[in-house]
Structure 1
Amino acid sequence: MLVVPFVLARWGFERIVADAAEKAQMAEELQSSIKELKFVQAQLVQSAKLASVGTLAAGVAHEINNPIFAISGRTELLLRGKNRHLLTDSAVDDLETIKEMTDRITAIVRRILEYSRTSDETADFPVNTALESAVSLLSAKLTSKSLEVEREFTASPSVRGIENQIQQMFVNLIGNAVDAIPEWGKITLGCKIEDDMAVAYVKDNGVGIPKDIREKLFEPFFTTKEPGKGTGLGLFICHKILADQGGEIGLDSKQGEGTTAWVKLPLSATTSGDTAASEAAHWGLNSDTAQSTP
């Protein structure tokens, strides 16, 4: 009679072992799937960045073309009468212009290379630096319309994150603001501190976003742009970048009046509300609006 309980116990033990092995295999497969998903997401972020680099290419070509034209003209002038021109003061001026233009080209190319590189290194950096870098990358797009860029930096806090990705996010947000303005208007960039978080925003006085589609804006492949002018990944990527770095993103919009895209970023460990305010005072920043154009 003891055989039956023994058989049952052995069967139960084998069943438990089999279940454990099955669950271990499922856990391993899940871990592998999560790893693969993270890789695909990283590739998606990089693909979106490279797509935006392609969008910036026309503007970069225009930026580079101007100094190249100046270099070519001055060089041709010097070579045409080298025995006479190279000994004059004007030759020195021409050479200084050539040097200035080559430095400008170098800076443009460096900005594009820095933007397009892959990086996952977390560091402390001033949030307004990432904003201004995005403006610099989009300078040709900004000047293609009659736009005024206004700054409202009430603070210049240091934040903790992946600077290259935060810059990518601002390129998307500022690019969207430019697209939302038909021909002329104003884009306002700002930064402040709220509840131990750095809050940066991009505000435009464009067409605004219809209320019935606002909830869909952060979904992948959703776009209000014409076919061929948008992938529908910009805001989705922005949301992912912020979520991965402990931040938040949101949109406030009123149709016919404009949109404000805001992001919240964690302050660096060495930055507090008081030190950030002191830093702002040090750099001469205040709540008064400082107007400038890109």
Structure 2
Amino acid sequence: MAGGLVPMFGRLLAAGSPSAIKTIRAGLMLANSPYCITLPDRKQLSALIPRSETDPFGAEGPRAVAPRTPQKALSKEELDLKELAETNCEKALEILQADGWHQVDSEEEDGLFVRDSGGRTIWKFRTVIKCCPEKFAQELLHKCENCPSWNQTIQQCHQTHRIADGVEIIHQVTGLLFGGVVSKREFVNLRRLGRRGDMHYSAVASIEHRDLPLRSSFVRALNFPTVLTVSPMDGAPNHCVVEGTLNYDLKLRMVPQLLIQRGTLSVWRQLRTQMLALAERVRG
């Protein structure tokens, strides 16, 4: 270190001031001190303390950090759809959590319930799933486009328009329903996907959209505010409870109400079986 101080001392001596002489004395005392250490240069410091590739202050930091994607400004139509999705979600959760349900079927801990609302029959189901809630919610709710891989009722499911985080328009096409008695149906749904505490939810309601006009090859059915939720089961680790509503108009004509009730019962039992199979696949 002393050798490195010589050029500096020369400049201070040339100044000839008393303060310069004091500085030289202090420097010499420091250089000869047993506690003096030689500081490494920049390259040596980099070798001793390697920086993370994601360190924004490192030499490679700015190139390693992925730039943030700027949020797209929503149009008036998109803002209205986002607000509508929130309203539908609140209605669907209110229906799910309402009183006045009557149980009409059961399987072990699971059940199917029914109630009337505004002249319509609404169904509610509850199914206990042996699976981690987080993992099962990812497969059941968040990977909506994979639905046809485990739900035999749905033949097609894809996102047609992403509005904002957790808000989208999805298009679904079913297979034959009620044992083949009812032809294929299609739905155009505005979906709100989210989480409240430990509960994951997916709420949908049908809308009209200019990019998805009516087609003569399908009957356009309607979903009224409907929700599907996944929550942890109290006192049962790695178990969850799936609750949901069936609140739709399949546009059936001249079909007896008794057949609709039996068909809905069959739909729930099939859905329950398929969710149990999905949970087994998720558990590996």
Please say whether Structure 1 and Structure 2 have the same fold, judged by a TM-score greater than 0.5: no
TM-score normalised by L of structure 2: 0.25
Structure number with the higher helix fraction is 1
TM-score normalised by L of structure 1: 0.25
Structure number with the higher strand fraction is 2
Q: Which has the higher contact order (CA 8 A, sep 6+)?
A: 1
